[in-house]
């Protein structure tokens, strides 16, 4: 089973509510690596690399348990990243 990288943008009230720390705490429960960061446009960006099933479960759990108010999530599957990913961090 091969790994893939997803780039996910979350819109809504997701900055200033502990959303990034929540995402990082979930990430360590799954065999995925990557990062989460705030963007200047008010969205939060998540880069996550792992097996499809793990990524799917990770995203579902973010959607259902988030401390913020997600109005929209946009997922780019098979996203190419040229950065080394060996852990999950907040940027």
Catalytic residues: 20, 38
From the CA atom positions of the chain, what is the Rg in Å?
12
- Order across the sheet with 88-90: list the strands: 69-76, 3-13, 44-51, 33-38, 88-90
């Amino acid at each position: 089973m091969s790994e893939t990288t997803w780039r996910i943008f979350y819109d809504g009230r997701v900055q200033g509510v502990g959303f990034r720390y929540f995402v990082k705490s979930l990430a360590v429960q799954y065999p995925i690596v990557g990062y989460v960061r705030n963007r200047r446009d008010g969205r939060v960006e998540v880069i996550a690399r792992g097996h499809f099933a793990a990524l799917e479960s990770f995203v579902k759990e973010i959607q259902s348990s988030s401390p913020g108010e997600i109005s929209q999530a946009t997922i780019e599957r098979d996203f190419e990243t040229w950065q080394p990913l060996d852990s999950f961090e907040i940027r």
